[in-house]
Amino acid sequence: MSVADLLDVLKRGRKVAVLTGAGISAESGIPTFRGKDGLWNRFDPAQLATYEAFLKDPKLVWKWYLWRMHLIANARPNPGHYAVAKMEELFPDFLLITQNVDGLHREAGSRRLVELHGNIFRGKCRFCGKEYSEEEFSQLWPLAGRDFLSSISEEELKGQVFDEIDRGNLPRCLNCGEIVGPGVVWFGESLPEDALSRAFSFASSCDILFSVGTSAVVQPAASIPLYAKRSGAVIVEVNPEETPLSPYCDFVFRGSASQVLPQIVSSLEGS
């Protein structure tokens, strides 16, 4: 499969969607969930990314999230993220639908995007429903501030910061006083209605949908490419590995997002 084969489809493309998963951030040093070094491999999702786990052991769940936030605060977008931001300018109508919570797409310049699973630097009180922006949450709990996290080493994180948490320093809701959790969508929690409906309605009328760096397993996001296909879209997968979506794709690029996407963008710009 070469980019040239895809080129005339791309040139005719008017309305283009890109669905991304953890794989596009892999080259930024953020481990994926199910890959060899996947986050989940060391931790069981049911153990940590669920409301039950948070109720049972909020200190453990917050340590895991702070460890991830520390990684992300020290990570930078990679050429894959920048290529997606560029695609937004190259097509008349475009939407990025990301499952990622790391905020790297926005940092790379993407503006037409929906974050299906929230954002790891925001806060959400699951008792009264109050939501905290990144700014508000870092004021409520400075340990979760992006600037603070990028100023400390992993040793300091696992030393003094985790000790703080053990001593009971957890974010308390300004509204109801309960412990605030991360502003992400946990397993068993429903996705933000507006983001989900925007994603599905765009997918139902797009010409091309790229599925990039996702194992196409987690629902309902994994249904979006099939929904687009049923509506007549050309489906392109960019992933070094086979996924359950692969058989339904019109074009498959078995490679890394940070290699393949810039090639697609430069062939488009050159055409």
From the list Zn ion, ligand BV8, none, pick the one residue 103 interacts with, judged by a Cβ distance below 5 to 8 Å according to partner type. none
Place of tokens 């994994």: 222
**Interface residues toward ligand BV8, by CB under 6 A:** 21-24, 26-27, 32-35, 38, 49, 99-101, 117, 184-190, 213-215, 217-219, 238-241, 243, 256-257
Nearer to ligand BV8, 196 or 234 (CB): 196
Nearer to ligand BV8, 15 or 106 (CB): 106
From the list ligand BV8, Zn ion, none, pick the one residue 130 interacts with, judged by a Cβ distance below 5 to 8 Å according to partner type. Zn ion
Only one of the segments 37-45, 118-126, 204-212, 221-229 lies at the binding site for Zn ion (rule: CB under 5 A); that segment is 118-126
Q: Is 81 a catalytic residue?
A: no
Q: Which of 232, 262, 192 is CA-nearest to residue 17?
A: 232
**Binding of Zn ion by 130 (CB under 5 A):** yes
Residues 6+ apart with CB under 8 A from 100: 20, 21, 22, 24, 25, 115, 117
From the list ligand BV8, Zn ion, none, pick the one residue 117 interacts with, judged by a Cβ distance below 5 to 8 Å according to partner type. ligand BV8
Q: How far is CA 160 from CA 72, 142, 156, 167, in A?
A: 19, 14, 6, 10
Q: Give the integer Cα–Cα distance in Å for 251 and 229.
A: 12
Residue in 70, 81, 105, 117 annotated catalytic: 117
Terminal Cα distance for the chain, rounded: 18
From the list Zn ion, ligand BV8, none, pick the one residue 173 interacts with, judged by a Cβ distance below 5 to 8 Å according to partner type. Zn ion
Nearer to Zn ion, 60 or 174 (CB): 174
Q: Which of 125, 216, 228, 264 binds Zn ion (CB under 5 A)?
A: 125
Residue type, 51: Y
Smallest separation (angstroms) from Zn ion to the CB of 171: 10
Q: Is 249 exposed, middle or buried (0-12, 13-18, 19+ CB in 10 A)?
A: buried
Smallest separation (angstroms) from ligand BV8 to the CB of 62: 12
Tokens of 135: 């700014």
> 170 near 210, Cβ under 8 Å?
no
Question: Could you list the active site residues?
Answer: 117
